Homo-oligomer: A and B are copies of this chain.
């Protein structure tokens, strides 16, 4: 059996679960390395992946005997057969944060389960600690992202649109070995930069614009996530002061990231610094885990309560947004080590002015 399913079975034992229904596509990808719609059942007797005709050939080609996963075509399963899967299981877990209410009701009836037990991110918690191969993949995704940033600093010229820049990022990723985009790229210029989740528009870059670029690639299914804020022509004094404050703040956070650090305490530190410096508010989480999904646990915010552990990979992304004027954000993807951390996105964070 593959080592990730073994880990899951161990976690299930600790939670007194003898069965589990896995529906979250990221968790399925993590556990059995296939990219297919379907449901993974962990029963006391076997591991079962139920998929449909659109995917079955591909899944059968990828899964080996050593994986010990039985593959079923949805259409071929009789009602009676569904009942047998969990018949010897007392406590069957499910993913309450992923499954729809309608599917919950359907599965409860289909598998004849008296109860389904909420599992509170059981698999996501296993995913938090990355293995060597996972770190290598994230490292590679970050490398491609860094190369892309170097390219962009030369590529971006006045009068280009945000959409053109976003597309260039995608093109660069594809031509440099990435699987694709880890998420929808943000290229937010001028007044658009005050919106943290701005969708790239046809707005043209002009002199004195701030440009915030939030981008990430996937490599072998693993994500990177990096934001840089750069300036077209000379930034105002006000912008410079704010940028240098934000950068110092971001670096102090990186200095605190290590095994044993509290996500709440780190975030509270930033909230306090923001407040003292300029009555700024941290309007989004300070960071999040990165892996097969670009947004994973642990969340780093003053409302979260995780202790960072060695081999977690997280982002550090403070941002300041002045409604209707402009905003800025600086973000790295960071590997948590025993006594310190390693910044995996190595692009310069010094104030960059392009012309």
Chain A interface (Cβ within 8 Å of chain B)? 35-36, 52-55, 57-58, 94, 96-102, 104-105, 118, 163, 167, 170-171, 174, 194-199, 281, 283-284, 321, 323-324
Q: Which residues does chain B contribute within 8 Å of A35, judged by CB atoms?
A: 199
Please tell me how many copies of the chain the complex holds. 2
* A57 touches which of B52, B97, B194, B284 (Cβ 8 Å): B194
Q: Which residues does chain B contribute within 8 Å of A55, judged by CB atoms?
A: 195, 197
Having A57-B321, A96-B102, one finds 9 other A-B pairs with CB under 8 Å, namely A35-B199, A52-B284, A53-B321, A94-B101, A96-B100, A97-B101, A97-B102, A163-B174, A170-B170
Min CB distance, A198 to chain B, in Å?
Answer: 7
Q: Which residues does chain B contribute within 8 Å of A171, judged by CB atoms?
A: 167, 171
Q: Which residues does chain B contribute within 8 Å of A198, judged by CB atoms?
A: 58
* A99 touches which of B52, B100, B167 (Cβ 8 Å): B100
Given that A167-B174, A174-B163, A195-B58 are known contacts, is A53 also in contact with B101, CB under 8 Å in the complex?
A: no
* A100 touches which of B52, B101, B283 (Cβ 8 Å): B101
Q: Which residue of B lies closest to A303 (CB)?
A: B75
Min CB distance, A144 to chain B, in Å?
Answer: 15
Give the top 10 A-B pairs by smallest Cβ distance, nearest first: A53-B283, A96-B102, A101-B104, A54-B196, A96-B101, A54-B197, A97-B102, A167-B174, A58-B195, A57-B323
Min CB distance, A353 to chain B, in Å?
Answer: 26
